[in-house]
Amino acid sequence: MLKSRVEQEKTPMEKRRIHISSKRQITIPSKYYEALGLSNEVDCIYANNMLILTPVRKDNPAFAEQILSDLVKQGYSGQKLLDEFRRISRQVRPAVEKLIEEADALAKKASTNYMDRTDDIFGIDDETEA
């Protein structure tokens, strides 16, 4: 059973240590597996020295509706509509992943700049560290 975003935000963070096999494999505890509605794949994200596993969502109806609407407006129908929908749908995920990478890079840069500003505020500089 999937929880709504509001319910997820109210759920306290939970930590569990899990074993990594010699083949770099892990077992996801059944409690988490079921709560997230996982199947045979997860998206694995490496960011800020963390691994984040998220459920794979095969389709996004909002994008599908927008793509279909645009294609119908362009005059596609029948098999040509289906073919063009498939072609464009395959391009959505790489485009979104690129946007996420760019956002991560901007966030990292902003974070680095933030640390520079706090060092200035608290008087930390290279001379006092030496």
What is the average pLDDT across 99-110? 83
pLDDT per residue as tens digits for the range 43-102: 888 777 888 888 887 656 667 888 888 898 999 888 888 888 888 888 887 888 888 888
Q: What is the pLDDT of residue 19?
A: 94
pTM of the predicted model as reported, rounded to 2 decimal places: 0.40
Size of the chain, expressed as the number of residues it contains:
130
Q: Phi and psi for 19 in degrees, rounded to 5?
A: -85, 140
Q: Is the pLDDT of residue 116 over 60?
A: no
CB atoms under 10 Å from CB of 81, counted, come to 15
Same domain? 110 vs 66 = yes
The parent domain of residue 14 ranges over 1-56
End residue of a domain, out of 56, 79, 94: 56
What is the rounded CA–CA span in Å between residue 113 and residue 85? 42
Same domain? 71 vs 117 = yes
Q: What is the pLDDT of residue 46?
A: 79
